[in-house]
């Protein structure tokens, strides 16, 4: 972003592109992604530093994956943001218009439009009406989409003192066991986002909604960890084919049966 000089001066734009010159034939060569040091390549930077440390052209380059025969990947991504403008890209809805304006392949224009649309939808969800979860039915309504997944998935809903969902995270994918689901993985997002309570849910691809012994062991383990941390585990749901059950309700029912 340009830095404004005193009021009487104009803005000065600085081009930070990597450019190498071949003085023998007086042509310039823009450094290709493959020529960059490993820690400067967009994908490697993403893995090492995280997405927030990448410039928009670098993120678009990762989205595209490859350039064209006529234009190198990062050069094309930089031209896209410079010639069209970041704000214009954010509001553009026509891949054909974008492709024609910048002379880029229609498939790459579609990828850019789709990427920004994903961002808009997630932003709209975050900026919209708060979501509150006060009971198992509401938690199920929030998580029900995962009931059809063919892979077992564990998700966490992180709540504030008003029962508002302030964070939603996929904690693990794979068979749910106490060896795989460590309390650290479940409670770390709660600490990072300042949550005071957690609801977890996982699906059974088999279609059976009854909790397994492993489900109960994991629940007991997380309840103990939550008490030590002062972050309450409110519930643990098992979802399968548009139905659900609360593991914690089942545990309470079992205790009442034993007492009676």
How far, CA to CA in Å, does 214 sit from each of 6, 179, 221, 234, 259?
Answer: 66, 10, 10, 18, 23
Q: Taking 90 as the threshold, does the pLDDT of residue 223 lie above it? A: yes
Q: For residue range 170-203, what is the model confidence (pLDDT) as tens digits?
A: 888 776 654 467 899 999 999 999 999 999 999 9
* pLDDT at residue 12, rounded to an integer: 47
Question: For residues 21 and 121, which has the higher predicted lDDT (pLDDT)?
Answer: 121
* pLDDT at residue 30, rounded to an integer: 53
Q: For residue range 15-71, what is the model confidence (pLDDT) as tens digits?
A: 444 444 444 444 444 556 666 766 678 889 889 888 888 899 999 999 998 889 889
* CA nearest to 60, candidates 41, 44, 81: 81
Residues 13, 4: Cα–Cα separation, whole Å:
10
* pLDDT at residue 109, rounded to an integer: 94
* pLDDT at residue 134, rounded to an integer: 94
Q: Give helix then strand counts, H and E, for the chain.
A: 10, 7
What does DSSP say about strands 197-203 and 232-240: parallel, antiparallel, or unpaired? Answer: parallel
Average of pLDDT values for 141-164? 90
* pLDDT at residue 53, rounded to an integer: 87
Most confident of 87-96, 123-132, 212-221: 212-221
Residues 44, 50: Cα–Cα separation, whole Å:
9
Domains recognised in the chain with CATH numbers: 19-127 (no CATH), 136-259 (3.40.140.10)
DSSP state of 68: -
């Amino acid at each position: 972003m340009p830095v404004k000089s005193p009021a009487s001066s104009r803005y000065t734009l600085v081009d930070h592109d990597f450019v190498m010159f071949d003085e023998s034939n007086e042509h310039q060569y823009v450094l290709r992604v493959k020529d960059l040091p490993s820690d400067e390549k967009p994908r490697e930077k993403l893995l090492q530093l995280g997405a927030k440390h990448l410039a928009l052209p670098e993120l678009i380059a990762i989205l595209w994956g490859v350039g064209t025969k006529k234009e190198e990947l990062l050069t094309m991504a930089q031209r896209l943001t410079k010639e069209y403008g970041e704000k214009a890209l954010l509001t553009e809805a026509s891949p054909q218009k974008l492709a024609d304006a910048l002379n880029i392949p229609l498939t790459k224009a579609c990828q850019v439009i789709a990427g920004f649309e994903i961002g808009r939808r997630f932003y709209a969800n975050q900026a919209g009406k708060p979501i509150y979860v006060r009971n198992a039915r509401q938690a199920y309504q929030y998580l029900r989409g995962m009931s059809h997944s063919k892979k077992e998935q564990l998700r966490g809903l992180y709540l504030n003192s008003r029962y508002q969902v302030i964070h939603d995270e996929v904690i693990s994918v794979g068979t749910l066991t106490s060896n795989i689901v460590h309390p650290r993985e479940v409670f770390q997002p709660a600490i990072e986002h300042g949550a005071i309570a957690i609801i977890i849910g996982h699906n059974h691809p088999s279609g059976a909604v009854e909790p397994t012994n492993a489900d109960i062991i994991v629940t007991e383990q997380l309840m103990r960890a939550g008490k030590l941390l002062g972050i309450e585990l409110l519930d643990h749901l098992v979802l399968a084919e548009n139905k659900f059950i609360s593991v914690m309700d089942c545990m309470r029912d079992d205790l009442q049966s034993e007492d009676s």
